[in-house]
């Protein structure tokens, strides 16, 4: 069953995944240097990619760089408030317009600045305005009048916003960002991610492929084996579902008494004889061990009062309803207003969304825990791993944050994320074993992982395509 090299286009369909048919895929996408090189042509130039939050470029003249594979992009807030994006290269001799060193641990994450009205090439002084048009060339007469504006301007690309994020696409024929986001964007719009601010943001260079890294956060199936400390207060049975390019995971349940719209996400009742106690312990444990994210202090405090405010006979449904009503009122009193999310959207919205190709958002009404991964250089065994927490704060109370390099240990990331890191490197190593016959992803709980590879194969000319396992 072990597969390597280049495969035919993906035979696995969305219908196959909806029917939860067994599938596998080769290790090509994780281990092959040729695959990594092909991504530079077939993947990254053809997809919409999240660059940063809009709040990172709040004022006219604010700018920053975004790098992926061999590409460097400049994103600029123009004087009229609109956004512009250019390839970071001078059209004269190919020098980077803005010098961007390699991403270095503890030193360089990106390059950014403010009050920029023009960009000047450090090689020969060619100058460009906010629209990328050339405004100065030394000795233009030497070209005998043959230079044109089309030859001397910067190469621009598509830029758009969604959910408070800035996105770029290098493909001039890319579908509009709204269409790219599809139903995933429609659902997440209800949670008003644009109304949240950074709580913290950290990054690391890690010893695994970028797909190995993002997969570690695409499914809760690993919780029972990796995060055993969380099992004392809650069950982590899960489902996942493809939505075309994107996919969602939700908590599932084997017990009908726990089935309600809120149970699909992070705000759910704990298990045990007294769900008032276990619900508090569940939310507290998650909050404290996931680097004080994936929930809020308000939600934890409201859960701590459940024993005092509800009788022992309260049902799980009554407990969740009271807890959320109480937390919502507490937040309103301090100027944090929750978006009104219909129950059916809460249920469909689930726990976390994998946004193709390299973004994951675990969300609630007042918080989000997010991940992004990118390749690091030309090494398929390394990646750039980024995580950040968003939260809804009272006006003017959001903390000032910057990207901080943090070694992947519990002291920096919290116990849960450190446990995930402890898997990623060794999954990367294990896939190289001659004894590994190929992945056997759970078709119910790890469908997000399968869907990632199905979509990758569609962009990558069939390389790494998942195939059905013919099992009677």
pLDDT higher than 80, residue 86: yes
Residues 143 and 92 in one domain: yes
Q: What is the pLDDT of residue 237?
A: 87
Number of structural domains in the chain: 2
Residues 356 and 436 in one domain: yes
Q: What is the pLDDT of residues 284-321, one digit of tens each?
A: 998 999 999 999 999 999 999 999 999 999 998 899 99
CB atoms closer than 10 angstroms to residue 295: 25
Q: What is the pLDDT of residues 350-372, one digit of tens each?
A: 999 999 999 999 999 999 999 99
Q: Lowest mean pLDDT: which of 126-130, 251-255, 387-391? A: 251-255
Reported as a pLDDT band with limits 50, 70 and 90, residue 373 is very high
CATH number at residue 105: 2.102.10.10
Bigger pLDDT: 256 vs 326: 326
Residues 353 and 465 in one domain: yes
**Pick from 85, 84, 86, 81: nearest CA to 58:** 81
Residues 320 and 436 in one domain: yes
Residues 208 and 78 in one domain: no
Domain final position from 131, 152, 173: 173
Residues 188 and 91 in one domain: no
Residues 69 and 162 in one domain: yes
Q: What is the mean pLDDT of residues 5-15?
A: 65
Reported as a pLDDT band with limits 50, 70 and 90, residue 2 is very low
pLDDT higher than 50, residue 9: no
Q: What is the pLDDT of residue 470?
A: 77
Residues 21 and 113 in one domain: no
Q: What is the pLDDT of residues 93-132, one digit of tens each?
A: 999 999 999 988 888 899 999 999 999 999 999 999 999 9
Residues 90 and 120 in one domain: yes
Q: What is the pLDDT of residues 156-194, one digit of tens each?
A: 999 999 999 999 999 999 999 999 999 999 999 999 999
The rounded percent of the chain whose pLDDT value lies above 70 is 95
Reported as a pLDDT band with limits 50, 70 and 90, residue 11 is confident
Residues 155 and 288 in one domain: no
Q: What is the pLDDT of residue 299?
A: 97
Q: Residue 158 belongs to what domain range? A: 49-173
Q: What are phi and psi of 143, to 5 degrees?
A: -90, 5
Residues 165 and 262 in one domain: no
| 415/226 Cα distance (integer angstroms) | 11
Residues 327 and 436 in one domain: yes
Domain final position from 120, 149, 173: 173
Domain final position from 173, 199, 217: 173
CA 268-274-279 angle, 5° bins: 25
Q: What is the pLDDT of residue 270?
A: 84
pLDDT higher than 50, residue 7: no
CATH number at residue 318: 3.90.380.10
């Amino acid at each position: 069953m072990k597969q390597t090299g280049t495969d035919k286009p993906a035979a696995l369909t969305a219908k196959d995944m909806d029917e939860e048919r067994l599938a596998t895929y080769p290790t090509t996408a994780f281990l092959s240097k040729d695959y990594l090189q092909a991504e530079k042509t077939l993947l990254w130039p053809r997809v919409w990619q999240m660059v940063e939050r809009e709040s990172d470029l709040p004022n006219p003249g604010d700018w920053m760089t975004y790098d992926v594979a061999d590409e460097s992009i400049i994103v600029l807030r123009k004087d009229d408030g609109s956004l512009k994006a250019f390839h970071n290269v001078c059209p004269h001799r190919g020098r980077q317009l803005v010098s961007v060193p390699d991403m270095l641990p503890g030193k360089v994450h990106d390059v950014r600045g403010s009050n920029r009205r023009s960009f000047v090439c450090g090689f020969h002084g060619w100058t460009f305005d906010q629209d990328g048009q050339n405004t100065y060339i030394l000795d233009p007469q030497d070209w005998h009048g043959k230079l044109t504006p089309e030859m001397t301007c910067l190469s621009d690309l598509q830029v758009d916003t969604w959910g408070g994020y800035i996105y770029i696409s290098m493909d001039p024929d890319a579908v509009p960002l709204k269409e790219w986001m599809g139903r995933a964007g429609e659902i997440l719009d209800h949670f008003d991610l644009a109304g949240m601010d950074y709580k913290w943001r950290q990054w690391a260079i890690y010893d695994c492929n970028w797909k190995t890294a993002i997969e570690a956060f695409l499914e809760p199936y690993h919780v029972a084996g990796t995060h055993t400390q969380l099992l004392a207060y809650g069950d982590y049975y899960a489902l996942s579902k493809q939505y075309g390019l994107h996919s969602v995971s939700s908590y599932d349940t084997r017990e009908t008494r726990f089935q309600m719209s809120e149970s699909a996400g992070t705000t759910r009742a704990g298990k045990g004889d007294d769900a008032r106690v276990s619900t508090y312990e569940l939310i507290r444990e998650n909050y404290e061990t996931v680097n004080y994210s994936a929930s809020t202090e308000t939600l934890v405090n409201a859960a701590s009062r459940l024993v005092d405010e509800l009788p022992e006979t309260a049902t799980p449904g009554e407990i969740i309803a009271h807890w959320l009503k109480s937390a919502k009122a507490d937040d309103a009193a301090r100027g944090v207003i929750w978006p009104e999310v219909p129950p059916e959207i809460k249920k469909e919205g689930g726990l976390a969304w994998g946004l193709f190709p390299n973004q994951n958002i675990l969300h609630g009404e007042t918080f989000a825990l997010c991940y992004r991964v990118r390749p690091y250089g030309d090494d398929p065994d390394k990646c750039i791993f980024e995580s950040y927490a968003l939260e809804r704060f009272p006006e003017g109370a959001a903390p000032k944050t910057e990207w901080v390099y943090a070694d992947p240990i519990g002291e920096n990331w919290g116990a849960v994320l450190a446990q995930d890191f402890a898997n990623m490197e060794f999954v990367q190593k294990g896939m190289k074993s001659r004894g590994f016959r190929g992945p056997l992803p759970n078709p119910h709980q790890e469908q997000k992982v399968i869907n990632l590879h199905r979509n990758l194969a569609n962009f990558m000319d069939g390389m790494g395509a998942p195939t059905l396992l013919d099992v009677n």
